[in-house]
Structure 1
Amino acid sequence: MGIFNKMLTNRATVLSNPSKWLSDIFGGSKTSSGVTVNEGNAMNSTAVYAAQKVIFETVASLPLILYQRNGDSKERATNHRLHYLLHDQPNEEMTAFTFRELMQHHLLTWGNAFAEKVINGAGQVIALWPLDPSQTVVERNLRTQELEYYTVMPDGQAFKLKREQVFHIPGLGDGLVGKSPIRMHREAIGLSKATEEFGSRFFGEGATPSGIIEYPTALDDEAYERFRNDVRDAHSGLSKSHKLMILEQGLKYHQVGVPPEDAQFLETRKFQTTEISRIYRVPPHMIGDLEKATFSNIEHQGIEFVVHTIRPWLVRWEQAIKMQLISPSSRKTHFAEFLVEGLLRGDIQSRYEAYAVARQNGWMNADEIRSKENMNPMPDGEGKKYFVNGNMRPVNEPYKGGDGQ
């Protein structure tokens, strides 16, 4: 069966409950707020954009290291080809940051991130190229029971890829394919977009009449339209607000004041910002809502962001890399891991106090501490010694009694 026939199979749908492919053709289905929301326009919402941006930029900026186990310790596998792909450059046109930023954005929007694996004759992955999740379909072959990926490239060419040819990170879903967070929460996002649109119209035209002009005599339709257009051209819009109005021929102006708060505009916008923050589990202060943020709790919220928001995404990445990019024979000895210590660092006083405890109790040496502060090791290997509290002696040097023994 050809790929186009395959992708068009089982496309039957009903208008009362249209399938995703049908609603996409017409721009997506409308929400209760009357705003159309889909994966293509959700980022037009400033709250969605800000929430996603803080997540995918954080994931993209963290160092991603390939390690090799060496007994009870580990060391960076910098000579391994996969380390270069993950840490530096996954393909000839993208940096590691750009690649991970795009893949994480796909996860946050479509619920799936796909990349085609380029494999050499030795079975090694030598490049990763992102695939458009809006043009990629995952199906199980009923004959072989294997997953197959059908994708359409930007030039319009359609391809079928085997499971071993695709690097796939699924979000929350059925265990194999993730669900779109945008579609699951389109009502909340739709209301957010609607309030933004309302705000634009409010300051462009006015949510309610700001005043009434009383004309002393009746006007015919032509005169009324001409007078209304003249007033609108002269005074409508934010740039013309508070402009002096000159009235003549017995005209009277009656002011009608309705501040935006009375239309619950600002309250609704704040609430929707909180809603979007809740969807993506991002502290509101990180997307510009500082109403409940204080200097004392922002640091703790930042740590909670790493632990409860970023860490689950990192685990998805790490486990997908181990399962799909590392060969079965190397999975017991190699693994990928993000470095998050930099995000968890407190203020300088808290860090130095923690280092002092670690140093005095013998589980960190000076070089390890200096490394965390981006400093070079001490000369002559002096920084590699471990000390314990008391007289701060090396841990391998025995204590002497009162008689010197």
Structure 2
Amino acid sequence: MGIFSGLFKSRDKPENRTAGSAYAFYMGGTTAGKTVTERSAMQMTAVYSCVRILAEAVAGLPLHLYKYTDGGGKEKALDHPLYRLLHDEPNPEMSSFVFRETLMTHLLLWGNAYAQVIRNGKGEVIALYPLMPNKMSVDRDENGRLYYTYYRGSDEAIKNKDFAVTLQPSDVLHIPGLGFDGLVGYSPIAMAKNAIGMAIACEEYGAKFFANGAAPGGVLEHPGTIKDPQRVRESWQSTFGGSGNANKIAVLEEGMKYTPIGISPEQAQFLETRKFQINEIARIFRVPPHMVGDLEKSSFSNIEQQSLEFVKYTLDPWVVRWEQSIQRALLSQGEKAEYFVKFNLEGLLRGDYQSRMNGYAIGRQNGWMSANDIRELENLDRIPAEEGGDLYLINGNMLPLKNAGAFANTPTDDGKEENPDEEVLEVEEPSTDGDGSGGEDSVSQRYHRRGKLV
């Protein structure tokens, strides 16, 4: 035990960057020459779009607290105080949607999401408040136990000990992103800062290109000597500079000649570079390009499949990360055996109307869905149980293989076994009318196999 205790105490401090690598901000510098931080990256339209798509998707999913039932099923734990916090209102200042959207935005930008857990005297959770990840520090004490330090100062770059607040793990809901130590996640923006910096540089180049008259720079040549070149330059810029002055006709005097020295954006593949960087950022967040406005690779036949892949391979891992972090931090040891948290992804996995109806019909005919099961998925009112809303029906012409031919040799009333191949001709006695003559149906004959009319 002493060896394991020493190993636990000697664990490294949690880090949000790879040791010895360039994947840290260092004041946000990039090889493209543009400063990239979590806040400046959001000014890039592709980053803003990806973060908004994922944050709103997680925030918009129904989130419920369930309780295991005796029959092996589950039911919503409506009487548990945590249900209302997660589903409706985590604190008096924000709704569940805004709370989850804020934390998911932190998770996508900083790689970590934190929320302060407020408990009452019984240890029950009564409120959850978001905390800024850039003001949070995770460390270990001398016994190897984790603790959180939050700095309340307004300046996020300065962590003053006078504003430090120490929080225990039970006081923090921590949702870490991808990381090497399993405790603190890495910032996706820091990891991809060069790609984002290049996208910002391309965007800035395009803006300056139009600001300078939508034409490359050039040289004004004069056959003689110009006494005041600064005045000529400013006069030219004020007259022909800016997108509002594009395509104006220039009148050159005194033998002056304009010679462009730049190359066009098409020759420099400017548009292709910008487009590639947008796809590069979408790749970082694993968002399909069509969801950020790039429909080049999308068509009517594959757009639905791409949306389903977004749910399964992009959204589902984030959802599982949320569910397990909530259960670990907000449920007691005794409650973890009785309760669990679940996001409902069914709404995003639903197909078109015709596909849903065909699926419901198969489930209804094969007995694993009732009318009320289907109506709940379609957000319709339940049919009362006495009217058959909870009945599970099966197709009557299906039976287990072992029971096939079970009635072939069933004994009859006279003790003889029926022979399914025996042909019987039954003739009823003629019935007489008042005059003794047979009626129209006085004699009827029925030719059948035993037990079955032919």
Q: Structure 1 residue 68 and structure 2 residue 67: aligned?
A: yes
Q: Give the 5 Å matches for 1:41-80.
A: 41-71=40-70, 72-80=72-80
Over aligned residues, Cα RMSD in angstroms?
Answer: 2.6
Q: Are 2:213 and 2:240, in contact at CA under 8 Å, matched by a contact in 1?
A: no
CA distance, structure 1, for counterparts of residue 217 and residue 134 of structure 2: 45
Aligned-pair CA distance for 1:211: 5.7
SS in 1 for 2:201: helix
CA distance, structure 1, for counterparts of residue 23 and residue 54 of structure 2: 30
- 2:445 matched residue in structure 1: none
CA distance, structure 2, for counterparts of residue 226 and residue 366 of structure 1: 83
SS in 2 for 1:116: strand
Identity of aligned residues (%): 48
SS in 2 for 1:97: helix
CA distance, structure 1, for counterparts of residue 146 and residue 105 of structure 2: 23
Aligned-pair CA distance for 1:208: 6.2
- 350, 367, 371: which is aligned to 1:366? 371
Q: Are 1:146 and 1:163, in contact at CA under 8 Å, matched by a contact in 2?
A: no
Q: Structure 1 residue 130 and structure 2 residue 130: aligned?
A: yes
SS in 1 for 2:326: helix
CA distance, structure 2, for counterparts of residue 178 and residue 17 of structure 1: 16
- 140, 161, 178: which is aligned to 1:172? 178
Q: Are 2:24 and 2:191, in contact at CA under 8 Å, matched by a contact in 1?
A: no
The residue type paired with residue 316 of structure 1 is R
The residue type paired with residue 63 of structure 1 is P
- 319, 328, 332: which is aligned to 1:323? 328
CA distance, structure 2, for counterparts of residue 373 and residue 257 of structure 1: 61
Q: Structure 1 residue 230 and structure 2 residue 229: aligned?
A: no
- 1:341 matched residue in structure 2: 346
Aligned-pair CA distance for 1:259: 3.2
The residue type paired with residue 263 of structure 1 is A
- Higher RCO (CA-CA < 8 Å; seq separation 6+): 1
- 1:13 matched residue in structure 2: none
- The size of the alignment, in residue pairs, is 376
Unaligned runs of 5+ in 1: 1-8, 10-15, 393-399
Aligned-pair CA distance for 1:155: 5.5
> 1:310-332 CA deviation, whole Å, 9 max, x = no partner?
00000011001111101111111
CA distance, structure 1, for counterparts of residue 100 and residue 345 of structure 2: 15
CA distance, structure 2, for counterparts of residue 178 and residue 20 of structure 1: 13
TM-score (normalised: structure 1)? 0.86
Structure with the bigger percentage of helix: 1
Unaligned runs of 5+ in 2: 1-12, 14-19, 156-162, 399-405, 408-449
Q: Give the 5 Å matches for 1:300-319.
A: 300-319=305-324
Aligned-pair CA distance for 1:31: 1.0
The residue type paired with residue 332 of structure 1 is A
Q: Structure 1 residue 114 and structure 2 residue 122: aligned?
A: no
Q: Structure 1 residue 159 and structure 2 residue 165: aligned?
A: yes
177-186 or 203-212, which moves further after superposition?
203-212
Which has more radius of gyration?
A: 2
SS in 2 for 1:383: coil
Q: Structure 1 residue 96 and structure 2 residue 101: aligned?
A: no
CA distance, structure 1, for counterparts of residue 192 and residue 360 of structure 2: 44
- 1:147 matched residue in structure 2: 146
> 1:198-229 CA deviation, whole Å, 9 max, x = no partner?
11111112686366544443312x2x211111
Aligned-pair CA distance for 1:370: 1.4
CA distance, structure 1, for counterparts of residue 216 and residue 281 of structure 2: 32
